[in-house]
Structure 1
Amino acid sequence: MSSGCKGLMAKYADCIRHTECMATRKLGLKECMAEKAPECEQYRYALFQCRRGQVDARSRIQGNKGY
């Protein structure tokens, strides 16, 4: 992953760490990411768009939007 999406990945992981899944049930980060917490959905979608932009030929030339 290029440095363009690292900020979004860090925010998404931080959001997951503060969910009920990790706080009370003590599951791992990957298991909680698989549950798709609604409060972190905006970060998950933004990360998806960022990674999608890395594959798109136009975005590879112009650069990712935002991060």
Structure 2
Amino acid sequence: MPKYYEEKEPDNRPCAGIREDFRECLLRHDCVVKEGKLPSECLKEGHCKALQTSFFECKRSMLDNRSRFRGRKGY
């Protein structure tokens, strides 16, 4: 599901794949495009909830000491 673009330079930050998909989901959603709302307003309405949860879990796993051995969650 992650979208990797060849013309873009690779992002080496943690959770970069989920971050990019979450950003694209919000910016391309009808709530932002057609209604002209801010992405933060669309998040409050519950759009892109699955990607938001996955991004939160990935960021939270960076703080978990067990993830040093098991690896980060996400893709």
2:53 aligned residue: 45
CA distance in 1, matches of 2:44, 2:15: 19
List gaps (5 residues or longer) in structure 2.
1-11
Q: Which has the higher contact order (CA 8 A, sep 6+)?
A: 1
TM-score under structure 2 normalisation? 0.67
Q: Which amino acid aligns with 1:20?
A: D
Q: TM-score, normalised by structure 1?
A: 0.73
- Which of the residues 31, 34, 39 maps onto 2:44? 34
Which has more helix, going by share of residues? 1
Q: Which amino acid aligns with 2:26?
A: I
Moved over 6 A (4+): none
Counterpart for residue 65 of structure 1: 73
Aligned residues: 63
- SS where residue 66 of structure 2 aligns? helix
